[in-house]
Amino acid sequence: MIPIFEQGDSHGIGHSFDTFIRRFSDICKNHIESKRAHAFAFIFYDFTDSNLKDVLKSKGGFARLDRLSGRKLSVFYLHSNNRKLNKHFNDTFKYVFEIEDNINLPFVLFLKFDGEIAEIEELKISELEQDNPMFAFSELFDTIESYVAQLEKEIIDVESKTNKLTNVINKYKRMAIDEFIKLILKDGYNMIKDF
């Protein structure tokens, strides 16, 4: 969980709004290269949505979501009491990611980039519908948990394919070495026989 603050990064974690806007692709690239994340999420909410704001401001809610996202997902959200900044954040990123106006706030946007952070490989939007404070956190948690589970499955599938490919390569290397040794032994035997 990475908050984006109205100004300054004096909070120990997070980014200032201006810095985040200017360095967005660098931040994402750094998270992937340092294996801090495989994908990214943005939590978008209306300034007047006190349920979601309260969830994100509560230390317990933040800690549980942070542990859940772990090293698989970097989750960004705006942490500000400024109505205009909140609208600017929402409008800016809705424009950047070409999100249609019929998508209602609040929602979570999940995205993965290609290896170069040049193109979006996957973009998924999950609208949050709970307006009951008791269930708002559960809905947000379940939404993120479901995406993290999907990521973990994809990571395991990729690792499995990589391991199979490595095993095939190693098998052929061993076969090549075994064949080479047989050839040397055969040629060596033939050379001895010829003397």
CATH number of the domain within which 40 lies: 3.40.30.10
- What's the pLDDT score for residue 192? 47
Query: Cβ distance 64 to 141 under 8 Å?
Result: yes
- What's the pLDDT score for residue 149? 93
The pTM of the full predicted model, rounded to 2 decimals, is: 0.74
What is the total count of domains within the chain?
1
Taking residues 160-167, what's their average pLDDT? 56
Give the model confidence (pLDDT) of 82-111 as tens digits.
889 889 999 988 998 899 888 989 999 999
Residue 168 lies inside a defined structural domain of this protein: no
The whole-angstrom separation of Cα 25 and Cα 107 is 21
Q: Which structural domain range is residue 128 located in?
A: 2-154
Residue 133 lies inside a defined structural domain of this protein: yes
Give the model confidence (pLDDT) of 1-13 as tens digits.
888 887 654 455 6
The whole-angstrom separation of Cα 152 and Cα 44 is 24
User: Phi and psi for 45 in degrees, rounded to 5?
Assistant: -150, 160
Output the CA torsion sign for 141, 88, 37, 54. negative
- What's the pLDDT score for residue 167? 54
Residue 188 lies inside a defined structural domain of this protein: no
Give the model confidence (pLDDT) of 8-29 as tens digits.
544 556 788 888 888 888 888 8
Taking residues 113-120, what's their average pLDDT? 74
Closest residue by Cα to residue 53 from 125, 112, 140: 140
